[in-house]
Structure 1
Amino acid sequence: MMMHWFVIIIFFISFHASNSAGIVIKYLPGFQGPLPFYLETGYVGVDENEDVQLFYYFIRSESDPDHDPLMLWVTGGPGCSSISGLLYEIGPIQFAADRYNGGLPTLILRPDSWTKTASIIFLDVPVGTGFSYARTTLASRSTDIQLGDQANEFMRKWFESHREFASNPFYVGGDSYSGITVPIITQYISDGNEAGNEPYINLKGYVLGNPMTFPEETNYQIQFANGMGLISDELYKSLFHKCHGEYRSEYISTSNTECHQNLEWYQECIRGIEKLHILQPCCATGNPLIKLPTQKLLNEHRPPPSSKCSSDIRICLVYYWLNEANVREALHIRKGGRPTWIRCSLDMNFTRTVYDVRPYHLNLSKKGYRSLIYSGDHDMHVPHQSTQAWIKDLNYSVIDRWRSWKLNGQVVGYTESYSNMMTYASVKARYLNVLISKGAKRVN
């Protein structure tokens, strides 16, 4: 069956602070010449007295912005800046792969970003993420529920100063921990529409990649490890029988020594494996929360430590770029907000309060919203088995049974669709960049 990946993106995913509606950026330090796309940045004040100031990057569709979908993108973490999505995943620019030599990192175009066919708002949430900040101690506190409420308020205010996008199909997207927050945000926007909140948002659905969803998903990591040949069949069978299929330490009795011993063996087997992409080298910064440039290193403007991992270099580059005074000035970052930019904040006053969002998926399905759930098939952190498990828990019938989807005649993944207008798609590891950068290419 022939189809376009372009159609998938369109079909399934198809600043206002009190004194500002955003500022258009025409040049960026590190990029040669004027930007060939529309970039806007700004702050929107939300919460009581607008004490929460949320920062965003907005890129207008390069095709037909008057009619193309508009998407709010929220990076996971929680607390990882949305510029991660812009620079490393789906945006129109990226860092050149050159080694850092102490100068300003170089930006180049990503030829086939999602902004070729959709307008995207990259939002720093929750408060304390990226350049978003709070004006009071009380406002600095947030939870998953508050994040959803504040993102809804952000969008209402953003549309007040961007009325030209009011009729565009609107979607919410994200990955990893955003599997928790995106359904909540989508629910709040839907509830606001039903309550008559203005302006009305033309919500059509949501998009999630390798999404955290429910507490039991970590149990599927061991099933994934066995399927990928990281542990032996003997160990897998022993783990299953001795631990009774429950591998979370807080649920295993201290007296169950055989289970604990098997888990220690399992941990030894996967030591040195990059969980986010098991085919990649285990990099120091594969986990974005550790071993990143220190303030001293940034102040001295020294290159990051040498690394065999290109991802280490790329992740470090954004620190050197966004902490440059001229870059902050170009992006119109407010002075006094956040003195040092951190990609993934560890010191946020954030409390996780929602651990299972399957009820949100069920409720959104009943309301008729579309959803696209995709999994990179070599992600061990949120394995595809766990994603397929919670989708089956929703108990909707299959309307388009499991089949391959192709790019240029090659199988790049598998897909299945359900009666609640949800589609699941897996993506083979080597084509993860294709999913992102070849969005407008023909797929069958």
Structure 2
Amino acid sequence: MNLCIGPITINYINSSLENPMLELSTHSLTKVANILFFDEPAGSGFSYAKSPEAYITNDTLTPIHMHQFIRKWLVDHSKFVNNPLYLGGDSYGGISVPMTIQEIYKGNEDGEEPHINFKGYILGNPLTDKHDSYNAKIEQAHRMSLISDKIYESVKKSCHREYQYVDPNNYRCIHDLQVVYECIKRIKVDNVLEPFCDPLNTSKSELLRIDLRSIDKTSIDIWSSDEDLTRWICYYKSAYIEAWANRRDVKEALHVSEVFNEIKWVSCNQSLTYNDGLLAKPSYKFNVMSTVAYHQEFSHKNCRALVYSGDHDLRVPYFSTLKWIESIDLLVMEYWRPWYVDEQVAGYTMKFSNHNYKLTFATVKGGSHTSPENRPEECFNMFIRWFDDVGFGGSDDDDVVTDRSKHICDKEG
């Protein structure tokens, strides 16, 4: 279902809500890898559990389930057992993916079969340390000119750089945080340059009933006004995807159980709850605060890592990611330098190493919280270069685009 890196996308120009049209993606990661997409935990995407209790899970159980699935899948598809495997994820995958990798290493060391030929991992804007990422939002807002120097210096001083766990008696800090909130409350956290989408906008259902074919989508300037652009980003794009995913023929092609024919696929399932006999409770417990220690452990393994960040993300700021990378005491092999696509700066990169462990960090210039979505060409080139290990810091001479299918990857999202 991930239209950011998968083989197909919506042809928005020629589509309507009644008939979403598909087209092959130019920048599909399937050009270089066989990809398995996880709908995890149960209840996300079209995944489901057979009992209400089975929906109850947490950060600790999810990696165990993912690890079990990978081994069972390899048993059923034994021709892929010897293929190098890379695990990947965006956003909250920064919690689940490293923990799954640890399960894989432990399973291999314990002699579990089949042996998984694990080679490395890819993480995009990963939530790795929840506390540090939360605190970094204030500095990111300042770096992006969303709050002034004066406001930033005041809140930094009054709160002592601690913005999550605030002393309720520190009235100055609370006041300064309220000032910050007023400055950024209508800023889209996933991409500070895109229009803010009001989740309480009561006109959404009305907007989705509009026949989009009435908009002139053949002109060079597709969207004639800022209002049209805002509607497109906030409502129309997800509406097209949901309309396609909920078609009966699509469900049949994906072998979705007929028992769930009336269940609608949604971009973000907010209804994952269970009933304990008294009241409804969230079915997922967020019980892991940081996975930095996992990366520290991996730094003594024989594997490769690519960690990238869209630099316009306010949710997981890029410098908070770079901060934990630098905290695991790796040797800097290449210092901060630009990398290019079509002779334009596509972002900046650094390389780290510890014997057989190699980590590449890269920013994606203009990238959002899910950079492959709004910077597909740049991210496609980034993935290609990393898989082929041809270098990140040079010019377009480094580009090596191949059409091999020799990897198995997992992408969350």
TM-score tier after normalising by the smaller chain length: 0.7 to 0.9
**1:343 offset after TM fit, Å?**
2.2
- Secondary structure of the 1:224 match is helix
Percent same amino acid at aligned positions?
A: 37
Aligned to 2:175: 261
Between the aligned partners of 1:94 and 1:122, the Cα distance in structure 2 is 15
Pair 1:392 & 2:326 matched: yes
Aligned to 1:163: 78
Match of 1:207 among 106, 122, 126: 122
- For structure 1, which runs of at least 5 residues remain unmatched after alignment? 1-82
Aligned to 1:344: 268
Between the aligned partners of 2:375 and 2:397, the Cα distance in structure 1 is 14
Instruction: Name which of structure 1's ranges 212-221 and 335-344 shifts more when overlaid on structure 2.
Output: 335-344
- For structure 2, which runs of at least 5 residues remain unmatched after alignment? 213-226, 273-282, 368-373, 386-395, 399-413
**1:392 offset after TM fit, Å?**
1.6
Aligned to 1:434: 377
Aligned to 1:412: 346
Cα deviation code 1:111-152 (max 9, x no counterpart): 121111111001100111111111122222111121101111
**Structure 1 residues 409 and 218: alpha-carbon distance in aligned structure 2, compared to 1, 3 A threshold:** same
- Secondary structure of the 1:207 match is strand
Structure 2 counterparts to residues 68-79 of structure 1, below 5 A: none
**Structure 1 residues 321 and 192: alpha-carbon distance in aligned structure 2, compared to 1, 3 A threshold:** same
**1:302 offset after TM fit, Å?**
4.1
Match of 2:306 among 372, 375, 379: 372
Between the aligned partners of 2:24 and 2:289, the Cα distance in structure 1 is 38
Instruction: Name which of structure 1's ranges 154-163 and 97-106 shifts more when overlaid on structure 2.
Output: 97-106
Structure 2 counterparts to residues 196-345 of structure 1, below 5 A: 196-214=111-129, 215-248=131-164, 251-284=165-198, 302-303=209-210, 308-309=229-230, 310-311=232-233, 312-337=235-260, 339-345=263-269
**Aligned partner letter, 1:425:** A
Between the aligned partners of 1:292 and 1:192, the Cα distance in structure 2 is 51
**Residue correspondences, number:** 350
**Structure 1 residues 182 and 304: alpha-carbon distance in aligned structure 2, compared to 1, 3 A threshold:** farther
Pair 1:135 & 2:50 matched: yes
Cα deviation code 1:178-235 (max 9, x no counterpart): 1111101111111111111111111011100000011221111111111111111111
Aligned to 1:383: 317
**1:291 offset after TM fit, Å?**
8.2
User: C-alpha root-mean-square deviation of aligned residues, in Å?
Assistant: 2.5
The structure showing larger relative contact order (alpha-carbon pairs under 8 Å, at least 6 residues apart) is 2
Pair 1:422 & 2:359 matched: yes
**Aligned partner letter, 1:228:** M
Cα deviation code 1:132-176 (max 9, x no counterpart): 111122222111121101111111111112111111110110101
**1:241 offset after TM fit, Å?**
0.5
**Aligned partner letter, 2:302:** G
**Structure 1 residues 284 and 95: alpha-carbon distance in aligned structure 2, compared to 1, 3 A threshold:** farther
Between the aligned partners of 2:156 and 2:86, the Cα distance in structure 1 is 40
> So what's the TM-score if we normalise by structure 2?
0.79
**Aligned partner letter, 1:436:** C
**Structure 1 residues 239 and 304: alpha-carbon distance in aligned structure 2, compared to 1, 3 A threshold:** farther
